[in-house]
């Protein structure tokens, strides 16, 4: 038994087998194929792409580290054309009628083992190169969308780190817990873990090489521990805790259907945050009054191209229909920073959190924005949709948005496509937006405070930087004062304000927010009933 310590981002207990994800490890599945020739053609295309990638790496290395070190990429290019290597791949595809990924991976494994067992030092060292090129080929074949996250049975996912797109691609029913070496409490991966209602630990100091998939473990989100190969006694305690948690949860379920009202009669809306159409199930299960934040960018990541208007329309329509008249606030594309989509080619940035993201992309690439707006407006007739715009810093931005929205509506009208005039709000997640919230309030229907980014920009703390977690203090007076200012400015203009950042679910602050006059809290679905309990017990 071994006990590893980390930082919990969602309190819960899990007991099960671990599945270790190593970044370069694409879990390649063996599938039967109809046409061997098509698979061989795929290998050729992957090789061509690999050759170009290696050429670029060679040129970069030549400039930065000189010819001797850059030569390795030339060697890799030559290896790609190695007759034995290629013949072996083709043989496997033809004789076993299997997919290209599988053939490349298995030839890569056997060739690298063969080199590793040679006497000659130079030849032995080539084992790593063979592995490298076969991994590159597999990566090219799989493209951005690996199915390495497909698990046969529910597992505890153990990884170095997980990107939002990796997390979002996982089948949520197959995950018992997340445990990572890196990651920060406020990253979108942590947010997704909370959304999925599963225990998650970050910052766990573990050697992934020493861990084997299939090992048993207990993940305790209350103590921040992962216990590997637990004794029968530890497993028993974990099972007891799991059933206690279940019992508490059942007690909370008694609050379903009840109002979010204090003993003094003050009401507040409790909505939920979602990232995909399938999350609506959690929203309904936890009796949220609506969706206060639909992070629409998750429709854009983990794929190779932009989602079409039709695809988006279907998603928004389905959410609106499933929510049956309850409010659904769709946040327009907030891509950039940690949420990347390679196909958008956003480029490397020194400070991505202060960079080209969210509304800045939408205003400078209006076609992308308009496609999304058209899809949202088309879906508006199927339920109670509102729109909100992220990362606002100025009145001018809102005016530009309004102009684009007017164009979209005009186009729909001219094409006889029905739509409704929906409520439109802005996210308040920059200090600039706070300071001009009196002016913004005149232009929009509501505010939703994004405390994750507001804290990041107010305290000058990169929310992705795990080293800064101890300094990331969303209870900071500056943040709380800003929230009060925004609420007051919205009320003066007869508008309402909600909080959709993670702070909205901070049970220590629920009373404070109600007393401040916050009108709505939008939180992870699993937090709705916990908040309702506190509100109903408030004087």
Measured from the CB atom, the residue of 105 and 486 that comes closer to Mg ion is 486
How many CB atoms neighbour CB 266 within 10 A? 14
The answer to whether the CB of 488 falls within 8 A of the CB of 509 is no
Measured from the CB atom, the residue of 140 and 490 that comes closer to ligand PEP is 490
Burial of 516 (0-12, 13-18, 19+ CB in 10 A): middle
In the region spanning residues 468 to 507, those forming contacts with ligand PEP, defined by CB under 6 A, are: 500-501
Measured from the CB atom, the residue of 220 and 466 that comes closer to ligand PEP is 466
The total number of residues shown for the chain amounts to 539
The token pair that represents 524 in the structure block: 């992870």
User: Which backbone phi and psi does 444 adopt, to 5 degrees?
Assistant: -125, 175
Choose the one of ligand PEP, Mg ion, none that binds residue 372, judging by a C-beta under 5 to 8 angstroms depending on kind. none
3-class DSSP string for 172-230 = HHHEEEEEECCCCCCCHHHHHHHHHCCCEEECCCCCHHHCCCCCEEEEECCCCEEEECC
Cα separations in angstroms, 92 against 28, 97, 263, 330, 396: 15, 7, 71, 48, 61
Please measure the distance between the N-terminal and C-terminal CA atoms of the chain and give it in whole angstroms. Answer: 48
Nearest distance from C-beta of residue 323 to Mg ion, angstroms: 22
Choose the one of ligand PEP, Mg ion, none that binds residue 500, judging by a C-beta under 5 to 8 angstroms depending on kind. ligand PEP
Annotated active-site residue in 415, 475, 491, 500? 500
Q: Does 4 help bind ligand PEP (rule: CB under 6 A)?
A: no
In the region spanning residues 394 to 433, those forming contacts with ligand PEP, defined by CB under 6 A, are: 429
Question: Site size for Mg ion, by CB under 5 A?
Answer: 3
Nearest distance from C-beta of residue 24 to ligand PEP, angstroms: 28
In the region spanning residues 426 to 455, those forming contacts with Mg ion, defined by CB under 5 A, are: 429, 450, 453
Q: What is the DSSP string of 380-425?
A: GGGSEEEEEESS---HHHHHHHHHHHHHHHHHHHHTT------EEE
* Residue 491 designated active-site: no
Measured from the CB atom, the residue of 134 and 526 that comes closer to ligand PEP is 526
User: CA 143, 135, 172 angle in degrees (round to 5)?
Assistant: 55
Nearest distance from C-beta of residue 370 to Mg ion, angstroms: 22
Nearest distance from C-beta of residue 5 to Mg ion, angstroms: 30
Part of the chain binding Mg ion (CB under 5 A), chosen from 239-247, 424-432, 469-477, 490-498:
424-432
Nearest distance from C-beta of residue 366 to ligand PEP, angstroms: 22
Question: Site size for ligand PEP, by CB under 6 A?
Answer: 10
Nearest distance from C-beta of residue 339 to ligand PEP, angstroms: 8
Measured from the CB atom, the residue of 502 and 519 that comes closer to Mg ion is 502
The answer to whether the CB of 290 falls within 8 A of the CB of 271 is yes
Q: Does 450 help bind ligand PEP (rule: CB under 6 A)?
A: yes
The token pair that represents 396 in the structure block: 């001018």
Measured from the CB atom, the residue of 126 and 463 that comes closer to ligand PEP is 463
Nearest distance from C-beta of residue 294 to ligand PEP, angstroms: 11
Nearest distance from C-beta of residue 132 to ligand PEP, angstroms: 35
Q: Which x/- pattern, by CB under 6 A, does the window 333-362 give for ligand PEP?
A: -x----------------------------
Q: Which x/- pattern, by CB under 5 A, does the window 377-416 give for Mg ion?
A: ----------------------------------------
* Residue 362 designated active-site: no
Q: Which x/- pattern, by CB under 6 A, does the window 281-310 give for ligand PEP?
A: ------------x-x---------------
Could you give the 3-state DSSP secondary structure of residue 17? Answer: strand
Sign, Cα dihedral of 202, 208, 213, 215? negative
The answer to whether the CB of 528 falls within 8 A of the CB of 507 is no
Measured from the CB atom, the residue of 297 and 445 that comes closer to ligand PEP is 297
Kindly tell me which residue out of 19, 169, 380, 452 binds ligand PEP, with binding defined by CB under 6 A. Answer: 452
Part of the chain binding ligand PEP (CB under 6 A), chosen from 313-321, 378-386, 449-457, 469-477:
449-457
Could you give the 3-state DSSP secondary structure of residue 159? Answer: strand
Q: Does 319 help bind ligand PEP (rule: CB under 6 A)?
A: no
Nearest distance from C-beta of residue 456 to Mg ion, angstroms: 8
The answer to whether the CB of 287 falls within 8 A of the CB of 533 is no
Q: Quote the crossing angle between the two packed helices 232-253 and 528-537, to the nearest 10°.
A: 60
Measured from the CB atom, the residue of 154 and 450 that comes closer to Mg ion is 450
Helix or strand holding residue 513 (H, E)? helix 510-516
Measured from the CB atom, the residue of 131 and 295 that comes closer to ligand PEP is 295
Part of the chain binding ligand PEP (CB under 6 A), chosen from 43-51, 101-109, 170-178, 447-455:
447-455
Choose the one of Mg ion, ligand PEP, none that binds residue 451, judging by a C-beta under 5 to 8 angstroms depending on kind. ligand PEP
Q: Which among 491, 479, 490, 539 is positioned nearest to 515, based on CA atoms?
A: 539
How many CB atoms neighbour CB 371 within 10 A? 20
Q: Which among 141, 129, 40 is positioned nearest to 92, based on CA atoms?
A: 40
User: Which backbone phi and psi does 354 adopt, to 5 degrees?
Assistant: -105, 25
Q: Which residues bind Mg ion (CB under 5 A)?
A: 429, 450, 453
Residues with catalytic function: 188, 500
Q: Which residues bind ligand PEP (CB under 6 A)?
A: 293, 295, 334, 429, 450-453, 500-501
């Amino acid at each position: 038994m071994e006990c590893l310590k980390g930082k919990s981002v969602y309190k819960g207990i899990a007991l099960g087998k671990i599945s270790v994800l190593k970044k370069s490890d694409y879990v390649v599945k063996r599938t039967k194929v109809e046409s061997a020739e098509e698979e061989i053609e795929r290998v050729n295309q992957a090789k061509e792409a690999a050759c170009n990638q290696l050429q670029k790496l060679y040129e970069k290395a030549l400039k930065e580290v000189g010819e001797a070190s850059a030569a390795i990429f030339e060697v890799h290019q030559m290896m790609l054309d190695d007759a034995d290597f290629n013949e072996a791949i083709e043989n496997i595809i033809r004789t076993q009628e299997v997919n290209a990924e599988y053939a490349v991976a298995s030839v890569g494994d056997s060739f690298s083992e063969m080199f590793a067992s040679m006497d000659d030092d130079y030849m032995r060292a080539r084992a790593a190169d063979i592995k490298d090129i076969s991994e590159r080929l597999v990566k090219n074949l799989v493209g951005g969308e690996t199915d390495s996250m497909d698990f046969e049975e529910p597992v505890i996912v153990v990884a170095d780190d997980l990107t939002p797109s990796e997390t979002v691609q996982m089948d949520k029913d197959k995950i018992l817990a997340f445990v990572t070496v890196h990651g920060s409490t406020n990253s979108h991966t942590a947010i997704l873990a909370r959304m999925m209602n599963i225990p998650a630990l970050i910052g766990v100091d573990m050697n992934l090489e020493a861990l084997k998939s299939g090992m048993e473990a207990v993940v305790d989100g209350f103590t921040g521990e992962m216990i590997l190969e637990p004794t029968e006694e530890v497993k028993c305690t974990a099972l007891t805790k799991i059933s206690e948690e279940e019992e508490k949860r059942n007690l909370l379920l008694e609050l379903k259907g009840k109002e979010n009202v204090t003993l003094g009669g003050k009401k507040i809306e409790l909505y939920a945050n979602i990232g995909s159409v399938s999350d609506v199930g959690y929203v309904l299960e936890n009796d949220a009054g609506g969706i206060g934040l639909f992070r629409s960018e998750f429709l854009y990541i983990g794929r190779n191209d932009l989602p079409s208007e039709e695809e988006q329309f279907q998603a928004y329509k389905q959410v609106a229909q499933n929510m049956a008249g309850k409010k659904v606030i769709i946040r327009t594309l907030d891509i950039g920073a940690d949420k990347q989509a390679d196909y958008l080619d956003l480029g490397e940035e020194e400070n991505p959190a202060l960079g080209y993201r969210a509304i800045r992309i939408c205003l400078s690439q209006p076609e992308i924005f308009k496609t999304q707006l058209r899809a949202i407006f088309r879906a508006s007739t199927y339920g109670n949709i509102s729109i909100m715009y992220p990362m606002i810093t100025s009145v001018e931005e809102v005016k530009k948005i309004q102009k684009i929205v007017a164009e979209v509506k005009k186009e729909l009208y001219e094409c006889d496509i029905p739509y409704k005039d929906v409520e439109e709000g802005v996210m308040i997640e920059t200090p600039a937006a706070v300071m001009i919230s009196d002016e913004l309030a005149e232009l929009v229907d509501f505010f939703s405070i994004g405390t994750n980014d507001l804290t990041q920009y107010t305290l000058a703390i990169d929310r992705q930087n795990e080293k800064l977690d101890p300094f990331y203090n969303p209870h900071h007076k500056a943040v709380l004062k800003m929230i009060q200012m925004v609420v007051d400015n919205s009320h003066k203009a007869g508008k309402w304000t909600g909080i959709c950042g993670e702070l909205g679910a901070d049970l220590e602050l629920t009373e404070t927010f109600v007393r401040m006059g916050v009108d709505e809290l939008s939180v992870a679905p699993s937090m709705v009933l916990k908040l309702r309990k506190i509100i109903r017990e408030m004087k």
